[in-house]
Amino acid sequence: MFACPVPLVILVTTLLSWTVQAQLDCPPQPDCTGSPLPFRRVDGSCNNPAYPSRGTPYRPYLRLVGAHYADGVSEPAHTESGVAMPNARKLSLALFGETEMEHPRHTLVSMQFGQLIAHDMSFTADADGIQCCAGGKMVPREQASSRCLPIEVATDDPVMSENGVECMNLVRTKTTLEDPCPQPEGNGGAAEQLSSVTAFLDLSVVYGNSLSQSNDLRSFTDGKLRVEQRHGKHWPPQHPNVTTKCDVESATDVCYLTGDERSNQSPHLTLLHMAFLLEHNRLAEELSGINAEWDDERLFQEARRINIAQYQSIVYYEWLPLYLGRNNMIAHGVLPETNTVDHVRDYDPDVDPSVSNAFATAAFRFFHNLIAGHLDLVEESMQPTGSIRLSDWLDKPALLEMDGKYEGLSRGMTTQPHDRPNFHLSPEVKHFLFRRGRPVGVDLKAIDIQRARDHGLASYNDYREHCGLPRVTGWEDFRELLRPVSAPLLPMQYTHVDDVELAVAGALERHDGDGMPGETFNCILLDQFRRTRVGDWFFFENGNTFTARQLHEIRKASMGRLLCDNTVGMTKMQRQAFFLVTESNPVVPCSELPAPNLVRWRS
């Protein structure tokens, strides 16, 4: 007998109810009445009233080059011959080394600051709790989620197979195909991945990405953010979901609540989160003394605005030139052509500041090879007294509240060099990342490669063409583009030059101009940071947010002074915190480092 079909009226009613529920769950379109507002909205909306949703959370990444999927919709790309791409873990092992080599000039805090920036601008919208690879074993296909894209581990893997690991978990990023909410500017038929944070350099890692999230972080007293006091220090508040967000043994263990879920990932990252949190409260307190009539809301918004402005100044004038090169930045409009004490009035409402998929998923991940595997502990005398293993303390922020670790690690990240920018990654992130007490963890480079496939990034050649660079037509062309040891290895992994991936070859290029990355990654990075600046109405120096005198004070901000002001026990610092201590960059008392004078904010 045939089963009785579902009555049409029930089916239609069910579909309508799903549609209504989806509409109820979708955020309303931003109301930009009265824009531009005096303060940027925490969700990034109405930065540009003509495109009110640009830069807001749960928007698609921007495509510089059309998506490349095997089926034109969402299936990860195949090779030119139609077979699966080379295994991501095998590519990592074959093409990327694992020798740690110290950088001769830059401190570890400069690498760590890069991760904070990356988290501020982008966070792939994933699904928590989905297991594609459980306990190192592949979940059977019939039981696995359609979101699964695990990385297989070969039986002869030199590290993981010896520990019984057969795969690494990877859940596909949520896309416009799964999101019931219509995107304001449309997205066509191919899957476009969603970022769950604002695209602006707005310290969303501190303040959150929605009004409700921001409100959870505020004390609503004197304009300050919430803190808890222990051991003579202020700490971020305790996370309400400790056991799911941190690697802990009980719900009472330390796990911090901040504007970003990833803030507990590593000790140094947590320290930077704390510095900007405490800087907000320091600014609010000083502003309160200057303007006694200001209420909590005014103090909060003004302190937030100054905090973000100082951060933006550090990003563009102190940090980015180290990695992208000042000459490169000027040539591509990332920085103005000449130093100026005036406003830089080049805001362009036609520029889309959205984060590009290639930037977030490939080019900005170049800096993963700067990660150091061990973190130094340094005494007040500036002498190292030991170190900790990075993989032992991922998602375990309680370390910072142990005797001397907060101070020792804070000094360590400003005196220890990060790794050299080459094709090597620390074993701590190549074999042991997020191992959570197990013998091995996951491979960060393999995840980078697999994530780029998940996001449908076009080939290395396609991005070169987009950047106005010549396409690679034969394997011999790579000898001029890549590091010498890398070029001969590519044809052993790929059968056609058009199969070579951006996440692979881009990370192996020789450095370009006065920047660290190669010319293809530099093109993508420079494009992003130009659009991030000129496409942000609230950017600190474009004349829409600060007076000329206030701008002069903001430009005094530095990473060294910010760490000095917000790290208990920090009494001295080299003048340029992103550079190692030298005769030309000596350690001085913190009081000698310039600091913005908030008297310019007296109302």
Distances (CA, A) of 154 to 437, 494, 515: 22, 18, 36
Tokens describing residue 292: 């006694």
**For residue 322, which of 376, 367, 274 has the smallest C-alpha distance?**
367
Confidence class for position 8, pLDDT limits 50, 70, 90:
very low
Q: Is the pLDDT of residue 4 over 50?
A: no
pLDDT of residue 341: 77
pLDDT, tens digit (0-9, with 9 covering 90-100), for 249-283: 999 999 999 999 999 999 999 999 999 999 999 99
10 Å CB burial of residue 319 (0-12, 13-18, 19+) is: buried
Cα–Cα distance for residue pair 366/115, rounded to 1 Å = 11
> Is the model more confident about 294 or about 8?
294
- Spatial contact of 311 and 516, defined as CB atoms under 8 Å apart: no
Cα 332 vs. chain centroid, distance in angstroms? 22
Rounded to the nearest 10 degrees, the angle between the axes of helix 405-415 and helix 267-290 is 100
pLDDT the model gives residue 262: 97
Task: Quote the CA–CA distance of 568 and 410 in Å, as a whole number.
Answer: 9
Q: pLDDT grade, residue 381 (50/70/90)?
A: confident
Q: What's the pLDDT tens digit per position in 410-447?
A: 999 999 999 999 999 999 999 999 999 999 999 999 99
Per-residue pLDDT reduced to its tens digit, 53-97: 999 999 999 999 999 999 999 999 999 999 999 999 999 999 999
The confidence score (pLDDT) of residue 47 equals: 96
Q: Over 50: is that where the pLDDT of 5 sits?
A: no
Catalytic status, residue 119: yes
Q: Hey, what are 57's tokens?
A: 């959370």
- What's the pLDDT score for residue 25? 54
State what percent of residues in the chain have pLDDT above 70. Answer: 94
How high is the pLDDT of residue 182? 67
**What pLDDT, on a 0 to 100 scale, did the predictor assign at position 178?**
86
Q: Are 559 and 314 in contact (CB under 8 A)?
A: yes
Mean pLDDT, residues 156-160 taken together: 97
More confident residue, 23 or 368: 368
Q: Label residue 184 by pLDDT band (50, 70, 90).
A: low
Residue 186 has pLDDT above 70, yes or no: no
Binding residues for heme b: 368
Residue carrying structure tokens 């009980």: 250
pLDDT at 185 over 60: no
- Overall average pLDDT of the 141-169 stretch: 96
Q: 36-39: long-range contacts at Cβ-Cβ below 8 A with a sequence spacing of 24 or more? A: 36/537, 36/544, 38/301, 39/301, 39/304, 39/305
- Tell me, what's the pLDDT at 63? 97
Closest listed residue to residue 247, CA positions, set 403, 428, 434: 434
Instruction: Please state, in angstroms and rounded to a whole number, the distance separating the CA atoms of residues 516 and 114.
Output: 13
Mean pLDDT of 531-547: 95
pLDDT band for position 362 (cuts 50, 70, 90): very high
Q: By the 8 A CB rule, do 269 and 409 touch?
A: no
Catalytic residue among 119, 268, 280, 431: 119
Distance (Å, whole) CA 56 – CA 354: 9
Mean pLDDT (the chain) is 92
Annotated binding site: 368
Residue for token digits 């590009």?
356
DSSP assigned state of 230: E
